[in-house]
Structure formats: structure tokens, C-alpha cells
Amino acid sequence: MATHNWMIYGANGYTGHLLAAEAQRQGLTPILAGRNPAAVHALGSLLGLECRVFDLQQHERACEALADVAVLAHCAGPFSSTSAPMLDACLASACHYLDITGEIAVFEAAHARDSQARLQGVVVCPGAGFDVIPSDCLAACLHQALPDASHLALGFDSASSLSPGTAKTSVEGLQFGGKVRRAGIITDVPLGYQRRSINFGRGEKSAVSIPWGDVATAYYSTGIGNIEVYLPAPPALTIGMRLLDPLRPLLGRPRVQQGLKRLLGKRVRGPDQASRERQRTWLWGEVHNAAGEHKTARLQTANGYDVTVHGTLMAVRHLLAYSGRGGYFTPSQLLGERCVEQLPGSGKIVIT
């Protein structure tokens, strides 16, 4: 497509607003979009940027809005509802697709569009933020260090608070329980399924397995068939997760979901700039092979929301100058296995 236009959809949300403001600060000129006219135009007036308003459920209108757009940065969750119609519009409009999802089902659904994206010459790269750029880079580097690895574990440690969108997505995920990959297959497991002690980079901590996006994406980046992802959690919380597991059908009921989301919408605001500057992130990864050889990787980055903003902008710049094939990509496949090291506040991946 002979255009350098790019768009942020969901620009009026917490992360979309951060992305739009940083893009404008860097001299980029995204088109701001969403379905809320007042909120989108208010942000456009504040930043001096063009605005477009459309609902993803109106396919023809979405295609019309994307007709002259080369790259779309999709920031409007929950992606379980919004990713598929946005992908439909991007593929129909020959527009490269990025998003900031962390949802396993969304990654899998995007990967299922690989053949269609190749035919259309469209890049589909979900997870172009903290979910999952840093951990995907760790996975790819660990695979390079131990090419015959059969097992991969990843994890991160951060004190950062959540944005409203992330919190609501987490509530949606409760009903689906835990997820790991076993022999190449994503497998349902109980909440709080695995526990272990991990040094993420600032001392040993009790940790628990979580259904993080890398259970999907790291397999496509590495081919490793057994994958788990961990988050620090005190033993009492882990026990609470196991006790909560039988209640998952109740947590999935529409009224319960709506009530929890309303509560979060009133109480969750997302970290301010000062908090983001304080709340850095430590990432860890480990692989081993059938012979018992191990490799460990560690990385320190800026706050997850800052990683998301700068990671998405890195991907946008890359795709605006892109001339390669279309198809599904993980971040490390599209941008390189050490691309995270280019982001502000990120250190080097260290493998031992």
C-alpha cells in the first residue's frame, strides 16, 4: 500500500492514550480512532491529530476507515471480542495488523489466519507490547542457546498496577482457568496449577503458573513443545487460586462478569507517570533438554505499559518501511530476537 498513514484504534483508552501522546511527542502523526465520538475527538483536539469514529461490528464502515491506512495498532480490548472483526477489516483492506493483547485464545485465532494473511500480503502480529515482546525475546534467545530444548519456562516480576482494560481482561480470563503447553498442545489446568521458587532478578520468590500469552506465542517462536509461564505469588494466594478453581463456572456467568467489570471500572485507573517510572519489570526464562542441560535468561525492562508504548511504536515504524511477506508473526520473528534491548529502559538479555 502506497501510504504512510497509520492508525491507533482504541486511542481514548488508557494505553491507547499513552501511545498516541508518545507518538505525537516523537513527531509521528497517527490517525486516532475508536467508537466513542466525544472521547476520540477530545483526544484528537488535545494532540492535534486526525480522528475517525467507527464501530468494528460495522464491517463496511471499518474497511472504509482503513482504506488508506498501512498499519493499524489495535488497542481496544477486550481483544476476545474486538480482535476478530478488526482482523477481518485489516485483511480486507490490506492493512498490517498489530495489537497489544495477552490473551491465549486471541493469539491462537490470529495464528489461524496465517494463510489468509500471506495471500493478502498482510502482516499479523498480535502481542506487540509488554505482552509479549520481552518474554518472546527471552524465549527466542534461549532457543538459540539450547536448540534442542524440550521444556521452556518464562516469568516476570513487577509491582505495577493494572489499567482498567487489563483488569477487565483478567476478570474474563478467570472462567477459563490455567493454561500450559504439553507436547505442543495447549492444555487446560486448574488455577494455581504449578508452584516453584524462582529468582526473577531480585532474589528467590514463590511463584505460580499463569495462563500468559507466551503459552501460545513462544511455541511459534521456538518450536518448544512444553511451556509454562510464572508470576510471583505468596503461598496463601496460590492456595486461594486452587480453592477458587471449582467456582470458575460461576465466575463466567454474564451477570457476575458484568458486576466485576463495573466494580473495576470504578476503582481501577492505571498507573500514573511517576508510578510507571518507579515500577520496573524483571523477566526470567529457563530451558532444558532431554539430556538435562539447562540455560537461564534474565532481563530488566521499564514498566510494562512503557514497554507496550515503545514496543508498539517500534513495530509501527518497522511495518511502515516493510517490504517482506505477509502472514502471522510473533514479535521476535518480525522484529528480531533482541528487539526488546532497543526499547527505552531495557537492559540486555543475559544468558547463563
Structural domains of the chain ordered from first start: 6-130+305-336 (3.40.50.720), 133-303 (3.30.360.10)
Q: How confident is the model at residue 101 (pLDDT cuts 50, 70, 90)?
A: very high
Residues 41-54: b if buried by 16+ CB within 10 A, e if exposed: eebbeebebebbbb
Q: Tell me which amino acid residue 115 is.
A: S
Distance CA 135, CA 180 (A): 15
Which cell is 96 given?
Answer: 498490517
Distance CA 340, CA 326 (A): 22
Q: How confident is the model at residue 3 (pLDDT cuts 50, 70, 90)?
A: confident
Distance CA 315, CA 331 (A): 8
> In this structure, are residues 227 and 211 in contact, taking their beta carbons and an 8 Å threshold?
no
pLDDT at 238 over 80: no
Length of the chain: 352
> In this structure, are residues 270 and 161 in contact, taking their beta carbons and an 8 Å threshold?
yes
Which cell is 75 given?
Answer: 488497542
Q: In terms of Cα–Cα distance, which of 247, 245, 237 is closest to 207?
A: 237
Place of cell 498490517: 96
β-strand pairing of 96-99 with 71-74: parallel
Rg (CA), the chain: 20
Distance CA 170, CA 163 (A): 11
**pLDDT tens digits along 55-77:** 999 999 999 999 999 999 999 98
**pLDDT tens digits along 318-347:** 999 999 999 999 999 999 999 999 999 999
Residue 130: the pLDDT is 95
- DSSP SS3 for 90: helix
CB atoms near residue 266 (< 10 Å): 9
Distance CA 98, CA 208 (A): 29
Give CA angle at 234 (211, 273), nearest 5°: 75
**pLDDT tens digits along 155-182:** 999 876 544 555 455 555 556 678 999 9
| Burial category of 27 from C-beta neighbours within 10 Å (exposed 0-12, middle 13-18, buried 19 and up) | exposed
Give pTM, 2 decimals: 0.90
Q: Which residues contact 308 (CB under 8 A, 6 or more apart)?
A: 15, 18, 19, 100, 129, 130, 131
pLDDT at 193 over 70: yes
| Burial category of 283 from C-beta neighbours within 10 Å (exposed 0-12, middle 13-18, buried 19 and up) | buried
> In this structure, are residues 320 and 70 in contact, taking their beta carbons and an 8 Å threshold?
yes
Residue 165: the pLDDT is 55
**pLDDT tens digits along 265-296:** 656 566 777 777 777 999 999 999 999 999 99
| Burial category of 349 from C-beta neighbours within 10 Å (exposed 0-12, middle 13-18, buried 19 and up) | buried
> In this structure, are residues 55 and 61 in contact, taking their beta carbons and an 8 Å threshold?
yes
